[in-house]
Structure 1
């Protein structure tokens, strides 16, 4: 296997259930190098979700389709980020001291706050997906394919700009040392992918759409991901003294929902 391709394969193996057949040693160096390709994994997830949406919409109403999409979305990610969302909810909503919150995050069990946060998030996402599906293939495709790109882009950004709560220990500690070049490459990749996916989503309605709103969405999506993601990361950092692997996942889940909401507000 070529060394240049290993970080891409590592990103897909770590963040998704895509059948990547490769024996990889997830060393800190490989994990750091793979983070800049997270937007690519998000794009792949978004494309699969949209294909499922197109096929399922041929015979089902929007509400069952949105539930199917949620199931597929969670399966494709292995529930990795959702687990982080639940663990973070258990920790932050416990209103305990820092050390106790970190201990709660390490516990494999899910508490009441985590379950409630998961249910409410999935209900919110389902309502957003149903709304987008009701507004057409372009609207739903534009949102479903780009939201995972920008949410995962911000995870790579957070790894560079905020410290880790446990120092060199834990999963987050293995990603320490992201360079400015890595962040720039992740940003350029996300911009290119986002533009391509917006064009791909437009294929079913080519020649019969307003190009202004997609352009506005293309500009606002990364700005919103950066703004909301920075706010979330800063609040978590203030409480924990840094970020953890769970908080990266929680931020990803929150940003996906926010970006879907942006599409609902823009594409009327």
Structure 2
């Protein structure tokens, strides 16, 4: 793989993307990196071997067009790496479908399952079975699912922690959240902002996503230190037939090495924490 072509298409929607790109460049790969927003592109260092594409992939047609354009230019991709967010299911489905039909090598970066106490919810509808009446519930699941989460947890006093975008704030207001119960802030690394929020709002339970990344780690630490209940929306199943690897195994594979036992089952979904 590495001998025939040194071109790689990296679809990145997580914080691991910029670090992964630097490591791949150091291996000698030429990268095309796809990110959704201009802000996400700023995290990538400039390089003659790095091309950044900004914007959402237009479904299966968009995936097929990118692969075809690379072939037409005489520079086909040796491998496609899906490093999108675990909850960005549509882009992973589109990649798996098109790469499968075209016999294009596709590797999926799998985040780890984090350990610690939490209640896993297969779907937001399962909130109905959780006794949340009278609880101060912090919703840390993104703006798009706020309305559904609130509808499934009637009786709770809802609060939300969102990314600082106009669209997020609009969705929060449309869901019926009170303005003084919404915080539009970027996640911190020292927990100070999040700790202040849960104390100010007297939060008793946090609903987050089983992302396996820094955000889940943040809420696990906050809930543990503040004595809060933690509900996690279970990570979606990975696409069947796709080679899923943790970061170490992915880099080893792309360097032409192998790491025994580093790959996860591609059909069983993520391991339970």
Q: For this structure pair, what is the TM-score category when the shorter chain's length is used for normalisation?
A: under 0.3
More helix by share: 1
Relative contact order (alpha carbons < 8 A, sep ≥ 6): 1 or 2 greater? 1
Structure showing greater radius of gyration is 2
Which structure's residues are more often strand, by fraction? 2
Give the TM-score taking structure 2 as reference length.
0.25
TM-score (norm 1): 0.26
